[in-house]
A = this chain, B = another copy of it.
Amino acid sequence: MRTPSGDLVAALDIGGTKIAGALVDSGGALLRTARRKTPAEGDAAAVMGAVSAVLDDLAGAPEWPGVRAVGIGSAGPVDASRGTVSPVNIPAWRGFPLADEVRRPAGGRPVVLVGDGVAMTAAEHWRGAARGRDNALCMVVSTGVGGGLVLGGRLHAGPTGNAGHIGHVSVDLDGDPCPCGGRGCVERIASGPNIARRALASGWRPGPDGDTTAAAVAASARAGDPLALASFDRAARALAAGIAATAALVEIQVAVVGGGVAGAGEVLFAPLRQRLREYAALSFTADVEVVPAVLGGDAGLVGAAAAAAERVGVWGGV
């Protein structure tokens, strides 16, 4: 019988909307969870206060003594080599020393920081749709677009923990300026808010409930609305070009797509698979598969735990 007290990892998932935490066991189950809203206003300390509150909740659980390491997946960019984060969606944190700040409440346990795209990738490679795949791109398409890479059977986080940053690959060099400073980035075209923005700009109108999110556009697309379909097709083209670029650059077998926008299902995946055939036409890119992520909203927590477990050697290395 497994002794739970000996093999847990505490995980933090830091995003622009919420800060989530969990105690994760060697099977990937979340034994305890906690969460706070990310303070929309206030300074760096206010955001750190929310992180501390989540950690306090976890530390109050009876399983806490069994925690061997703390894994953090944070919205990016991060600098894993310095332990700092500068999330685009958390303006109060620029070069914020998150790993150091977590070290004290972690009580001396090792702290491992990765970008949220890398964390999601660790999760899908460990227990999800990229399991058993040696070369994979995993993506989250949501308010933003993030991702991570598995190369040669291992997470490829890169020197600063940001590799796989597909949301800010430019696929339209004459395209709209992106908040990152670039132009025509995948995120600028394919994120949920941009799908909704483009639909509205083209004349699409919401239903009686007034919902103008990408989910509402998806519902219209499923009902056959041509403007809604066109906005999803444009997102699919950007995602396809980004996946094809990744395949040409590092040779992947599969692209795993998760996040809220992936929840649109075939409204996204059907044009995405079709467009990928157009952009990935080389002999070694033409067979790249596109599959939905399977871990959903917990992937960030499961993956932060997996990345820490791999680095620290808990669970015999994931």
- Interface residues of chain A, those whose CB is within 8 Å of chain B, are 77, 79, 86, 134-135, 149, 151, 156, 158-160, 162-166, 168-174, 180-184, 237-238, 241, 244-246, 248-251, 278-284
Contact A249 B169 (CB under 8 A): yes
Q: Which residue of B lies closest to A280 (CB)?
A: B182
Contact A182 B279 (CB under 8 A): yes
Query: A69 vs B249: C-alpha distance in the bound complex, in angstroms?
Result: 28
Query: A174 vs B171: C-alpha distance in the bound complex, in angstroms?
Result: 9
- State the number of copies, please: 2
Which one of A77, A149, A182 has the greatest number of beta carbons of chain B within 10 Å?
A: A182
Q: A79-B284, A163-B249, A249-B246 are in contact. Are A183 and B149 (CB under 8 A)?
A: no
Contacting residues, chain B, for A86 (C-beta < 8 A): 283
Chain A interface, >50% SS class: loop
Query: A129 vs B172: C-alpha distance in the bound complex, in angstroms?
Result: 30
Contacting residues, chain B, for A168 (C-beta < 8 A): 248, 282
- Say how far A145's CB is from chain B's closest CB, in angstroms: 11
Contacting residues, chain B, for A162 (C-beta < 8 A): 248, 251, 282, 284
- Interface pairs (23), CB distance under 8 Å: A77-B284, A79-B284, A134-B159, A149-B249, A164-B249, A165-B248, A166-B248, A166-B249, A170-B244, A171-B171, A171-B173, A172-B174, A173-B238, A173-B279, A180-B281, A181-B278, A181-B282, A182-B244, A182-B278, A182-B280, A183-B278, A245-B245, A249-B250
Q: A159-B135, A160-B251, A250-B149 are in contact. Are A282 and B165 (CB under 8 A)?
A: yes
